[in-house]
Structure 1
């Protein structure tokens, strides 16, 4: 199954799992007789185009054939998913999570009270949020740092501000060079969400025009 959604600026984004890419390419060529490859761009005579975006951890490749060969190799990925009040961290080898930790943090709900009481609750929420970030950074350091030398990429997801706050911890500086640009859109982190994020991280993205 190929997941397709509109792309900002025009065209569509399609996502496909590595083991289905070969069949998708065969279908593209069958539908577009005479299509040519220029690097990772497939171009058809009718103007249709498909640009392949390698998944995190794949080294730079120049051709579609090189990409297909690289996709056969298992990658070691770090995963960091965060939303305010929850974090999930994992290390995966190929399709398997080999270590993981999921944690939720208590952050007091908003209050309808005004004046001094509202300010006091706001300070308490802020302190709880900062404590959650520190604990999330502790978890990330414990799970990700021992694996950092072997990580092919770090894939993040959830709320960008929360992820950035966690990765601002000086202990996690070695991970920054391996952080992939894409931020996965995930719900509140749980183990099942972490497992789904691993599958999503390995998808090949294809920019389709039109």
Structure 2
């Protein structure tokens, strides 16, 4: 079963793996007694329902559904960068296979209920720990990703503000330019989470209205 979630502004989102997309398209045509195609948007003949396909990272330039299907058959390599306050992971995915990866855990002190001087001291310490985690993550990204010239896109997941800080590192300027706008929702990074992100990043996102 394909899970749907509400879309801002109306409609809903579904995500389809490349292997299932042809079947999903056939189902849309069948449910709507045919459809017209305009670039990457299908409009049902029976009721005007629309499905707008958003290609996965690295295939953003495809202009129509035939080109999308062709591109999905030979997926490009992408970089992955997952960041949470307590851990980070970086990897290179060829299809759903991780060619290289690195996962690192950080210690960031939890919040304290104490007040006054004690609270300020903990806040400073926590801020310093976060800064250190950002720096270590940038080191990982530089080591695993920045030297790759064959990446078609960078897919990020987790804590957006921390990712923004990491990608401000001058060593990652070229990598930051490849960043895909869609942010993956991920738990604290582990190797299994990174492997799952490689699978999720390849999915075609479809905006259905209504």
TM score, norm. by length of structure 1? 0.96
Partner SS for 2:73: coil
Tell me which residue corresponds to 2:177: 177
* Residues 157 and 184, structure 1, Cα contact 8 Å, conserved in 2: yes
Off by >3 Å, runs of 4+ in structure 1: none
Q: Paired residue for 1:30? A: 30
Deviation per residue, 1:143-179 (Å, 9 max, x gap): 00121x1001000000101111111111111111110
What is the correspondence of 1:153-172 to structure 2 with a 5 Å cutoff? 153-172=153-172
C-alpha displacement at 1:111, in angstroms?
A: 2.0
SS of equivalent to 2:57: coil
Cα RMSD over matched residues?
A: 1.0
Any conservation in 1 of the 2:76–2:94 contact (CA below 8 Å)?
yes
- Give 3-state SS (helix, strand or coil) of 1:136's partner: helix
Provide the rounded CA distance (Å) in 1 between the counterparts of 2:75 and 2:38: 26
Partner of 2:144 in structure 1? 143
* Equivalent residue, structure 2, for 1:102: 103
Secondary structure of the residue aligned to 2:20 is helix
Which position in structure 1 is the counterpart of 2:15?
15
C-alpha displacement of 1:59:
4.5
| TM-score, length of structure 2 as denominator length | 0.96
Residues paired across the two proteins, number: 209
Deviation at 1:190, TM superposition (A): 0.7
